[in-house]
Amino acid sequence: MAADQRPKADTLALRQRLISSSCRLFFPEDPVKIVRAQGQYMYDEQGAEYIDCISNVAHVGHCHPLVVRAAHEQNQVLNTNSRYLHDNIVDYAQRLSETLPEQLCVFYFLNSGSEANDLALRLARHYTGHQDVVVLDHAYHGHLSSLIDISPYKFRNLDGQKEWVHVAPLPDTYRGPYREDHPNPAMAYANEVKRVVSSAQEKGRKIAAFFAESLPSVGGQIIPPAGYFSQVAEHIRKAGGVFVADEIQVGFGRVGKHFWAFQLQGKDFVPDIVTMGKSIGNGHPVACVATTQPVARAFEATGVEYFNTFGGSPVSCAVGLAVLNVLEKEQLQAHATSVGSFLMELLGQQKIKHPIVGDVRGVGLFIGVDLIKDEATRTPATEEAAYLVSRSLRDSEWSGGMEGNRSQVQPALSSHNTLGVLFQFSEEMDMEEEVRSCETLRLQP
């Protein structure tokens, strides 16, 4: 197969001719041509090895043999839609139910996180009879039109905010209005949601749902203060709405301490709807919505069938079951806790040594590093962050994610050599002589 591969320049030329430029590449100034991957490693056409630090899809590692085998074996027997009885879909739903609070006991299977969030929006509106949605600033919930409308990260560059969408401040205790020195940031940020809801109601609007990633990722790897979701849920439910927890990037044990990131908010907090995607299938297109009996029954009462051609297929469910089996067999949730703690300690050391590292935050293997120009103003060090990524890529060290000045670290949970991998990342943050501090950091050719 390798002998038949095109030269990288030819592949790039074909892509530029045939694929829309809206479908962007990582590192567009010098795109990487990845031809294979295994575990936490990716390889280009020259055989150069990269550490995948943003593997929020290949959750248990690229091309995990048990997941690949499960898909292959089921494909050899049957792959059809969910209108036929089959054990895989009910086995999978039962396994998922065992990881969730008992109230979340009805499941819908789909193909992508965007489909899951779109269905969650439909469920919320049918159940409440209301239309409006409260979201967090900088949020991104998917690429469908309905989800662009509730994603400030996207709609601010397109048609703007719809009248039925209401934006509350991101519960960011590093950059937001209520910071680490506030006596009760959870209440303060929840009161902002209450204020947004009240303002909407004064205009005659009715709230159907509050949507939030359990840990906002595009917004900057944010860790909401404990107790925030419970207080928000109280305000939203009082207004007649439901709470939707988007676990698409952060579920399935990534946070280590818990299987679901919303559980970081306390055992008494239970969302009304939970959406899943990305990591659920380790690269296979699988997604899921879990909800309560009352919400599901209201949707069923419309008499309109919900059918998804490929959602819940025998192959998709076999893959989903295999991912759960690997998570359990390899004890990856505990692994995420130990490795994440190790990386947080290493990066914390970099924060002490280098003024450019303004904040290190995270839980399990969901970690963010906030780079700044000045400690007092916390001015984002965007250009410096871009340089660090390009240099590490040039040196074939790691493939990391940057959103402005923030580094996103979400490696595969299954990395067999993770301690060494993460130490290399920390060495990159060590910045060598030419990038010793915020004062000396300069872009290099």
Reported as a single tens digit per residue, the pLDDT across 155-182 is 998 989 999 999 999 999 999 999 999 9
Does residue 51 register a pLDDT over 90?
no
Give the model's confidence band at 404: pLDDT under 50 very low, under 70 low, under 90 confident, else very high.
confident
- Across the range 198-218, mean pLDDT stands at 97
Does residue 433 register a pLDDT over 80?
no
Give the model's confidence band at 392: pLDDT under 50 very low, under 70 low, under 90 confident, else very high.
low
pLDDT digits (tens, 9 = 90+) for 105-125: 999 999 999 999 999 999 999
- Across the range 37-42, mean pLDDT stands at 92
* The pLDDT of residue 388: 75
| Alpha-helix runs per DSSP H in 130-288 | 145-148, 152-155, 185-202, 228-238
- Across the range 222-244, mean pLDDT stands at 98
* The pLDDT of residue 393: 64
**What is the residue whose two structure tokens read 């029954």?**
297
Give backbone dihedrals phi and psi of 291, rounded to 5 degrees, phi first.
Answer: -150, -175
Q: What is the mean pLDDT of the chain?
A: 90
User: CA-CA distance, 33 to 30, in Å (whole number)?
Assistant: 10
User: CA-CA distance, 403 to 138, in Å (whole number)?
Assistant: 11
Give the model's confidence band at 269: pLDDT under 50 very low, under 70 low, under 90 confident, else very high.
very high
Does residue 88 register a pLDDT over 70?
yes
Lowest mean pLDDT across 1-5, 139-143, 439-443? 439-443
* The pLDDT of residue 298: 97
* The pLDDT of residue 402: 54
DSSP 8-state secondary structure symbol assigned to residue 380: B
* 169 C-beta neighbours (distance < 10 Å), count: 17
Compute the C-alpha angle 336/267/109, nearest 5°.
Answer: 70
Question: What is the pTM (predicted TM-score) of this model?
Answer: 0.93
* The pLDDT of residue 207: 98
State the virtual CA torsion across 398, 403, 406, 409 in degrees, nearest 10.
Answer: -40
* The pLDDT of residue 424: 52
- Across the range 130-142, mean pLDDT stands at 97
